[in-house]
């Protein structure tokens, strides 16, 4: 007979939020972003007479994907703190750092000047890094492991850095050919990171 499934604990449900958000929201939106980017290029080269709203939709989808990834990562880090049995001071610090991540991202969305956009993107990533390297999470995730390239955590931070940089330079990418070429090259790395993150994330979830 098949054994009855045991009900999940609240902590196990929290552990599922990160992969569910990534699978059901982030990856599909990134797929749509790539498709819209291809269509925007075809429109710019006059290869396809599509609606002029496509480039705007491409940018919007990129923002949604980045925001969704940030939310998913914050849930994952919160789960790590809960598993590690973090104390009150750690939770207060994490709350402040999460608030700073959100505030910096909102500033990135609203700022027009390039230097301010770059500063907002850097601040968003820095506060996320500070959250990640809290003592409770460092010991739990073994972030000092020599095999950094195998780390789901460091891979995720690098992925978010690329996406935030792309958001910060969006206006310049639209205006300059060499920036668009850099954008394409950078997003090839993003696609590779998405593949490796799917592998390492599945590994970590499977191994518990």
Res. 205 pLDDT band, cuts 50 70 90:
confident
Res. 25 pLDDT band, cuts 50 70 90:
very high
Alpha carbons 76 and 148: distance in angstroms, whole number: 18
Q: Is 24 contained in some domain?
A: yes
Q: Is 190 contained in some domain?
A: yes
Q: For residue 15, what are the contacts with CB-CB under 8 A and spacing of at least 6?
A: 79, 205
Report if pTM > 0.75. Answer: yes
Whether residue 143 contacts residue 87, with contact meaning beta carbons closer than 8 Å, is answered with no
Q: At residue 139, does pLDDT exceed 80?
A: no
Nearest of 168, 167, 155, 157 to residue 195 by alpha carbon: 155
Q: Is 2 contained in some domain?
A: no
Residues counted in the chain: 208
Helix, strand or coil for residue 205? helix
Lowest mean pLDDT among 49-53, 123-127, 135-139, 170-174: 135-139
| Average per-residue pLDDT for the chain | 87
Q: Is 5 contained in some domain?
A: no
Q: Is 3 contained in some domain?
A: no
Q: Once rounded to an integer, what is the mean pLDDT over residues 137-143? A: 58
Q: What is the DSSP string of 1-43?
A: -PPPPPPPPHHHHHHHHHHHHIIIIIHHHHHHHHHHHHHHHHH
E-only strand ranges, 114-179: none
The total domain count for the chain is: 1
Domain that holds residue 84: 10-139+148-207
Nearest of 177, 97, 165 to residue 130 by alpha carbon: 97
Q: Is 109 contained in some domain?
A: yes
Q: Is 155 contained in some domain?
A: yes
Q: Is 175 contained in some domain?
A: yes
How many CB atoms are located within 10 Å of the residue 159 CB? 21
């Amino acid at each position: 007979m098949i054994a009855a499934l045991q009900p999940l604990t609240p902590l196990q449900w929290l552990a599922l939020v990160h992969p569910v958000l990534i699978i059901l929201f982030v990856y599909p939106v990134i797929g749509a972003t790539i498709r819209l980017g291809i269509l925007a290029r075809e429109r710019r080269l006059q290869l396809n007479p599509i609606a002029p709203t496509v480039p705007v939709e491409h940018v919007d989808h990129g923002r949604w994907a980045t925001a969704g990834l940030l939310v998913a990562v914050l849930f994952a880090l919160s789960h790590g703190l809960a598993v590690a049995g973090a104390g009150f001071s750690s939770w207060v610090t994490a709350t402040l750092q999460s608030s700073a991540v959100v505030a910096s991202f909102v500033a990135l969305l609203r700022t027009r000047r390039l230097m301010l956009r770059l500063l907002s993107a850097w601040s968003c990533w820095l506060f996320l890094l500070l959250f990640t390297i809290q003592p409770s999470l460092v010991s739990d995730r073994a972030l000092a492991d020599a095999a950094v390239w195998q780390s789901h955590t460091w891979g995720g931070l690098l992925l978010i850095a690329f996406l935030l940089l792309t958001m910060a330079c969006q206006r310049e990418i639209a205006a300059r050919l060499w920036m668009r070429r850099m954008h394409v090259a950078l997003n090839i790395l993003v696609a590779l990171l998405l593949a490796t993150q799917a592998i390492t994330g599945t590994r970590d979830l499977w191994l518990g």
